[in-house]
Structure 1
């Protein structure tokens, strides 16, 4: 693959390419963000950026301003299947961090499916985001790759000037897990489970929902993710 350029989207052709990318990633049953909406939100201070290889959009990130000054909501992050495993997703998130910090934005929020290990590895382990908020069936019934399952989500907080986040952005060593932490494990091979065994996936969803909600009610926060053991690492009061 040719050299990759990371930059803001420019012009309706690139916004339409972002629509096509969403459909390719989430499936025909999903409702993509319209090109016109992305263009307008970008014009009003939001972020619509992508990774381009040979002039072709292969990944994109989309975020909007919120009612709280200095806080952005990050709505979408997507990488084409052919380009996965090459670090484009995490590189776009670091682009987003730089973009936000230069504009006085120091807090980014977004949601992700807590049962998908790839997302947990990126959002928690690689980026240093944290969570103590579980949203039950947040988007209601969905199509595409999410069809047939409750759209449960974790709301994560990404504190851009947190020393942990700064260290991860530079690839520096991060402190070891506290001894009093709690671990919650994800099912093995989640992607196959969600794609081929929907009844088992549904039961796994409910079990994870109960475990995480109970932990949050007990004062625990997600502060890490073990990519080998496929477990969330939770500590009290968000201590890392």
Structure 2
């Protein structure tokens, strides 16, 4: 049994706990935390806030609000999941996954079948939970979505983000949430399927850090792979200029791939070699999201 419990948050005291936890996680100052009076207004008007508690201490949260997506069939009401965080002292306990699963259940009770949110596509841990474990997909890249951020996790980089679609009632998502082993495919599977590598990163002989190549091959196969550094935050801490190079290089790769009709459908964290590797899988066509 997990050491924490997930519960729905409904009062101002709980909103103040979220506000404090935001400051503890991102350490960017009070101006970067969503004020509790805004949070309470959101949840009293169709929004959802969930907290993870160990005893009486909030150690994680997720919150969002109703939104609208424009589709070829018209406007679709959705849940916009704005922010999720877990206290650094309590990571590695699957709290984030449990919060998202509870959010999935609550949004479906509201009659919704779509949740969207954003995350930094260069963060492997976030990609692993969002794409590989939750089954979200992505073909939307947003440049510098939040402007110049000053918190410890984002300072010095353009705040580029993926906006992912989590289609709540698809077999794909239900299998991922149910830990169905048939939904998990490794790098060897994609290699056997002749999946196209869009580029091969260079490795710095002195530091061992991955460097983006000068160019890449446009995707022309049904499946394509895009490799990113397996620990981007460590790389950023060592060489901010290199982190910026990765941001601008992958921006171009993802934007061109999405414009060509490709969709992120999987993420691989491969430990077979001497060093771990992190790769996105892109599929051509929308039939892959079911």
Q: TM-score, normalised by structure 1?
A: 0.95
Query: CA deviation digits over 1:180-218, x for unaligned, max 9?
Result: 310000124211122332111001101111111111122
Whether 2:15 is the aligned partner of 1:15: answer yes
* Structure 1: 5+ residue stretches without partners: none
Measured after TM superposition, the shift of residue 175 of structure 1 is 6.5
Q: Is the 8 A contact 1:134 1:155 kept in 2?
A: yes
| Residue matched to 2:60 | 59
Do the aligned partners of residues 165 and 82 (structure 1) sit closer, same or farther apart at CA in structure 2, a change above 3 Å counting? same
Query: CA deviation digits over 1:58-79, x for unaligned, max 9?
Result: 0000110113554110000100
Corresponding residue SS for 2:46: coil
Q: Is the 8 A contact 1:70 1:104 kept in 2?
A: no
| Pairing 1:162-177 to 2, within 5 Å after superposition | 162-172=170-180, 173-174=182-183, 176=185
Measured after TM superposition, the shift of residue 160 of structure 1 is 0.3
Q: Distance in 1 between matches of 2:281 and 2:93?
A: 25
Larger radius of gyration: 2
Match of 1:71 among 57, 78, 84: 78
Q: Bigger relative contact order, structure 1 or 2, given CA contacts below 8 A and separation 6+? A: 1
The runs of at least 4 consecutive aligned structure 1 residues that moved more than 4 Å come to 175-178
Count of residues in Structure 1 that have an aligned counterpart in Structure 2 = 240
Corresponding residue SS for 1:44: coil
| Residue matched to 1:86 | 93
* Structure 2: 5+ residue stretches without partners: 69-74, 194-221, 271-276
Corresponding residue SS for 2:249: helix
Q: Is the 8 A contact 1:181 1:236 kept in 2?
A: yes
Q: TM-score, normalised by structure 2?
A: 0.79
Do the aligned partners of residues 120 and 27 (structure 1) sit closer, same or farther apart at CA in structure 2, a change above 3 Å counting? same
Whether 2:102 is the aligned partner of 1:95: answer yes
Q: Is the 8 A contact 1:186 1:230 kept in 2?
A: yes
